[in-house]
Amino acid sequence: MCSGRVDLEFILRAFSNGVDGVFIGGCRLDECNYITHGNYDALSNVLLCKKILEHIGLNPERLNIEFMSSGDGILLVDMINNYCEKVTEIGPLGTSEGMEGKELSLKLEAVTQLIPYLKLVEREKLRVPVKSEEAYHQFFKSEAVDRLFNELILDKLAISQILLLLREKPLSTGEMAMALGLNPSDVARHINSSSRHGLVRYDAQRKCYALS
Amino acid sequence: MDKKAGDFTVTLNKRPRYIDEVKCTGCGTCVEYCPLEIPDPYNQDLSSNKAVHIYFSQAVPLVTYIDESCLYLEEKKCAICEGACQNEAICLHQEAEELKVKVGAIVLCPGYEPFDPELRGDYGYGKMENVVTSLDFERLLCATGPHEGEILRPSDKKHPHNIAWIQCVGSRQVVPGGNSYCSSVCCTYTQKQVILAKDHDPETECTVFHNDIRSYSKDFEKFYQRAANLPGTRFIRSYVSIGKEIPESKNVTIRYATDEDGVKEEEFDLVVLSVGLNPPDETEKMAELYDIELDSHGFCKTNPVNPIETSRPGIFVSGAFQGPLDIPESVFSASGAGSQCGELLNHRRGRLSKERIYPEEKNVSREEPRVGVFVCHCGANIGRVVDVPSTVDYVKTLPNVVHAEEQLFSCATDSAESITETVREKGLNRVVVAACSPRTLEPLFRDTLREAGINQYYLDMANIREHCSWVHAREKEKATEKAMDITRMSVARACHLEPLQEIDLPVNKKALVVGGGIAGMTCALSIANQGHEVYLLEKETELGGMSRKIHSTLDGVDVQAYLSDLVRTVYQHRLIHVYTGAVITEATGYVGNFITSVTSDIGITEIKHGAAVIATGAQEYKPVEYLYGEDDRVLTQLELGAQIASREERLINSESLVMIQCVGCRQEDRNYCARVCCSHAIKNALNLKKINPDIDITIIFRDMRTYGFTEDYYRQASDNDVKFIRYEPDEKPRVVAVVAEGRPVLRVTLPDYILGRKLAVDADTLVLSAAVIPPAGNRDISNLFKVSLGPDDFFKEAHVKLRPVEFGTEGVYLCGMAHYPKHIPEAISQAHGAASRALTLLSNDIVTVSGSVCEVKENDCVSCGACITVCVYNAIEFHETPHGKKAWVNPVLCKGDGLCCAKCPTNAIFLKHFTDEDLLSQIDTAFHEEEVM
């Protein structure tokens, strides 16, 4: 099994279970034990996931990937120690980021539900042309990727969160904006598009929105 | 040793290791208790180890030995280790054993000895503390080295900031105590050390004092550039001498000279001597014992057209006992020796093998999980840190666990038997062994499950040694908690495990060899001599490939005579079918079962075969430089060779001949060294001088890359008055046709760096050492057999060092110049290597494919193709179903890396044995509920 097998779902599941950090160890880049160089896929998964964590208000440093060979025992110990120190410094998941347990699980679940879509976006738009560690980091830091991220992922993520929120009880636009820390006009826009798709409906009696 | 090939009796004298290898589990407890520290020979005596220890962490067998300096062995004191070992493996009274073995063939691979600079006190070694050999430095660089990977210099254990390497120590010298040959590997290992030293500390200043840089092997040229382009790195072409050791700092000064600045003296923190390769110790004794001959350098004398053959039939040689070799050559000579033993002993193949019979497998897939957990003490390895009994008690409280027990060594034969019995008695249908890494012992425990009559994939191993007791030795309580966590995760996963079947595929026993040059023919013969039919394809109308244009080797072999013998043997072999004028139109199938369509001089043929060998060779570059093609006095080395062979009058009577090296390679568009041209140039120069001693020969070169024993011929050429002038790639020589004093000549002008002025040489004949280039057809072959090409369009092996004749695609092998330019003996050696690898497949009736492969839930597949694009093994394809096209995994091609699973948007594709459920169940049980949220 390759580090590239580590699914976004595994990472998110771990955070949903309340762990404070996820560390992924892969073979050294360009020294693939298969012929696939799947550790680059692991790297791009991690870089994408970090962006998402940051966006939902979690410290992206909680997720870490390092590459080493089976002979790098001492290096591994160093990496793990540094990483554990860092995670300890960041503190417990959610509370350190000023997030309640409920809000945190809602956000993580919203992302989890989006995984199939994220995989499609990754495949269509986020493949890095050059296989080098530097190129991968540069790519995910680039403005182009930021733009793509904003265009393709942010709205979907907001809608995913709205739908989860409405699963509990019908809410008004303002309540949703408050609960999700979003701009009310953005929420209205998402509600409009969701109702066009038949996902939500307006409950005129209670003057709020509910799932269809 | 006596008798003859096929029937040797060898008497071995086995020195005592004072350890019972069968009982020792390599746990290392004795090492901890041993009171005596000795210099560690594995780390070049730069650090210490105990008198009892494991030689190094990859040793086979991975058990301890006791050094003769042991207190008990010396003075009958101590024997603490005896008490420490819980397995009674210490045998302080063990004596040397004499063993007699009957064998059919013998392979000699004693390796080499590094040149010892202390004998002559070269460059202050042995006197100045901060002068070390490259092997000392290698250990310093290594994580398992004396300072755990920190580079600390001997005198004050501080980081050196300014390191110098001196090349050719002990090599390329005719003075007493030195070796006249080139050691072949030092240039590149030095570059590696420079890169690693810079990795450790990018601020380190690295200086390499060298003669020619011999980056003649695959990708070496680029590697050299990588090292040379690192900031703070200098490669200086100069002979050097050691100045002095500075008493306060123990720094060492080196005197050197450059063309620009003359003589200089510079100070370094550490000096590394790039020592060469000597023959192994006691070769003369060995030669006498085995009745084989040695060459003039003390290495094994080999057949010039079969470097694996010694002077005595039935005795073969592989590795550096042939002469200085790099790892890939060493590996393929080892495989090649295997193949030649196979040829010799083919009539006895398989007679000693026995088939295992397992009890019938019980179907337990419908039963509720009944997990049995076996927690191993590993002697004291785990037990001393992890509280094993309380781990067992804890495990018993886990859901689905019906049995848990502790074992002293789970891997001991009686423990494995006890697991088998317990499975039967208690009706266990899942087994968790909480012990060590599955890397070593998973096969053993899987076998245990098979013996117990349940599917072998019902096993999970919880690694509470490497991942726990070894790394948390000082935190016993926490380690125990972690052992419980790891085992709990393992039990959770075990409950999800499913029985898997390994697929047995029949193997077609025939081989296809693509390319009928020397490599292809040699490989075909070696395979055929081991009883397998071979289809040999050649695109030309005649066999022979490039060798048809080569007339002799440097060693004086008559290539054409050798070739015609080889061609005859191939044609006469009843198991080899030759197809000339052959073009492959289609190739399908997979390991053990390929189908290849060929059109050839005899029409269209469909060939079914189990293995394929790619031996498509290479060709000589047709230069566009230096008036080639415009002036018929300009030849390539191959054309020159042909003219020498036919005693072309105009050539023989030339007054002056100039050769230019590196034409068409070692440049931007062909950034590699063609490896063979320097030796070809020397060979042709020497042959010409033999015919006409008066002819003036000048070789214009960048680096003379006469590696290994060919260095002797380079020296011989120099002694025979062949002149050598170096040029730099940014100031290439210029050639014009002029008439000088009534004589029409080709005038070659270039800068002379030593004299610092322009130099002109008039030649009657100009010879270009043109690059060796891959044939254009390589791309097609690469697509047909789904094997990859490297950046220079030579075929790309599975691993450049360790698997040099195999492809990542199973069942397809590689040899000859298709891999990279090489000399005839090297191609022959590699061809035997490829045959050997092919035989490991062809000699079996079946290939077994792992059960842990991917599969598609068709209902969930949305035909997006994400899995197909990511699978480099081409294991996934669309196939038509009543519900449209769906992804389908060919289990034979799938390697179980699981990349596709992480790409599939609908989780339709899953990796058996590592399914989402398996892995998520571990994530979900990794922490106690109270630990989180």
3-state class (DSSP) for residue B229:
coil
Q: Confirm or reject contact between A120 and chain B (CB < 8 A).
A: yes
Contact across the interface for A18 and B927, Cβ inside 8 Å: yes
Q: What is the pLDDT along chain A (212 residues), one digit of tens a residue?
A: 899 999 999 999 999 999 999 999 999 898 887 888 999 999 999 999 999 999 999 999 999 999 988 777 778 888 999 999 999 999 999 999 998 888 899 999 999 999 999 999 998 889 898 889 999 999 999 999 999 998 889 889 999 999 998 988 899 888 888 888 888 898 999 998 888 888 888 888 888 888 88
Predicted TM-score (pTM) of the model is 0.83
Evaluate whether B275 touches B190 at the Cβ level (below 8 Å). no
Contact across the interface for B926 and A14, Cβ inside 8 Å: yes
Contact across the interface for B872 and A35, Cβ inside 8 Å: yes
Evaluate whether B190 touches B274 at the Cβ level (below 8 Å). yes
Evaluate whether B78 touches B72 at the Cβ level (below 8 Å). yes
Residues B48-61 pLDDT 10s? 999 999 998 778 88
Contact across the interface for A9 and B916, Cβ inside 8 Å: yes
Assembly ipTM: 0.93
pLDDT band at B1 (very low <50, low <70, confident <90, very high): low
Contact across the interface for A41 and B902, Cβ inside 8 Å: yes
Evaluate whether B585 touches B607 at the Cβ level (below 8 Å). no
DSSP for B755-817, written as a single string: TTEEEEEEESEEEEEEPEE--TTHHHHHHHHT--B-TTSSB--SBTTTBTTB-SSTTEEE-GG
Percent of the residues in chain B that have a pLDDT greater than 70, as a whole number? 99
The residue among B515, B536, B512 whose CA lies nearest residue B774 is: B515
Q: Confirm or reject contact between A41 and chain B (CB < 8 A).
A: yes
Smallest Cα distance from A64 to chain B, Å? 16
Rounded to whole angstroms, the Cα distance separating B483 from B461 reads: 12
Residues B457-481 pLDDT 10s? 999 999 999 899 988 988 999 999 9
Residue B656 tokens, joined: 């002056």
Looking at the predicted structure, is the pLDDT value of residue B143 above 80? Answer: no
Q: Which residues of B touch A72 (CB under 8 A)?
A: 143
The residue among B330, B50, B269 whose CA lies nearest residue B140 is: B269
Evaluate whether A171 touches A165 at the Cβ level (below 8 Å). yes
pLDDT band at B583 (very low <50, low <70, confident <90, very high): very high
Q: Which residue blocks in A70-208 are alpha helix, DSSP H? A: 73-90, 101-113, 115-125, 133-141, 143-148, 155-168, 173-180, 184-196
The residue among B471, B769, B513 whose CA lies nearest residue B623 is: B769
pLDDT band at B353 (very low <50, low <70, confident <90, very high): confident
Smallest Cα distance from A207 to chain B, Å? 35
Q: Which residues of A touch B930 (CB under 8 A)?
A: none
Q: pLDDT value at position B930?
A: 58
Q: pLDDT value at position B2?
A: 65
Per-state percent for chain B, helix, strand, coil, to nearest 5: 30, 25, 40
Contact across the interface for B866 and A73, Cβ inside 8 Å: no
Residues B402-436 pLDDT 10s? 999 999 889 888 888 999 999 999 999 999 999 99
Q: Which residues of A touch B927 (CB under 8 A)?
A: 17-19
Rounded to whole angstroms, the Cα distance separating B526 from B275 reads: 37
Q: Residue B352 has what DSSP assignment?
A: T
Nearest Cβ partner for A1 among B143, B896, B933: B896
From the candidates A68, A87, A119, which should be mutated to test the interface with B, based on the most B CB atoms within 10 A?
A119
3-state class (DSSP) for residue B560:
helix
The residue among B141, B143, B245 whose CA lies nearest residue B190 is: B141
Contact across the interface for B864 and A77, Cβ inside 8 Å: no
Rounded to whole angstroms, the Cα distance separating B584 from B514 reads: 9
pLDDT band at B199 (very low <50, low <70, confident <90, very high): confident
Nearest Cβ partner for A123 among B808, B866, B927: B866
What is the number of residues in chain B? 933
Mean pLDDT score of chain B:
94
Q: pLDDT value at position B933?
A: 43
DSSP for A98-115, written as a single string: T--HHHHHHHHHHHHHTH
What's the 3-state SS for B287-331? HHHHCCCECCCCCECCECCECCECCCCCEEECHHHHCCCCHHHHH
Radius of gyration over every alpha carbon of chain B, rounded to an integer in angstroms: 32
Q: pLDDT value at position B255?
A: 97
Nearest Cβ partner for B920 among A13, A119, A122: A13
Nearest Cβ partner for B899 among A38, A71, A116: A38
Mean per-residue pLDDT, B3-13: 87
Mean per-residue pLDDT, B808-834: 96
Q: Which residues of A touch B465 (CB under 8 A)?
A: none
Residues B263-312 pLDDT 10s? 999 999 999 999 999 999 999 999 999 999 999 999 999 999 999 999 99
Mean per-residue pLDDT, B67-94: 93
Q: Cβ contacts of residue B367 below 8 Å, gap of 6+?
A: B429
Smallest Cα distance from B931 to chain A, Å? 9
Looking at the predicted structure, is the pLDDT value of residue B928 above 90? Answer: no
The CA-based angle B194-B198-B204, given to 5 degrees, is 100
Q: Which residue of B has its CA nearest to A81?
A: B471
DSSP-derived pairing of the beta strands B7-14 and B97-103: antiparallel
Residues B832-876 pLDDT 10s? 999 999 999 999 999 988 899 999 999 999 999 999 999 988 899
Per-residue b/e over B565-592, b at no fewer than 16 CB within 10 Å? ebbeebeebebbbbbbebebeebebbbb
Looking at the predicted structure, is the pLDDT value of residue B78 above 70? Answer: yes
Q: Confirm or reject contact between A71 and chain B (CB < 8 A).
A: yes
DSSP for B100-121, written as a single string: EEEES-EEE----EE--TTTTT
Rounded to whole angstroms, the Cα distance separating B171 from B184 reads: 9
3-state class (DSSP) for residue A43:
helix
Rounded to whole angstroms, the Cα distance separating A153 from A48 reads: 11
Contact across the interface for B926 and A17, Cβ inside 8 Å: yes
Q: Confirm or reject contact between A91 and chain B (CB < 8 A).
A: no
Residues B623-647 pLDDT 10s? 999 999 999 999 999 999 999 999 9
Q: Confirm or reject contact between A34 and chain B (CB < 8 A).
A: yes
pLDDT band at B931 (very low <50, low <70, confident <90, very high): low
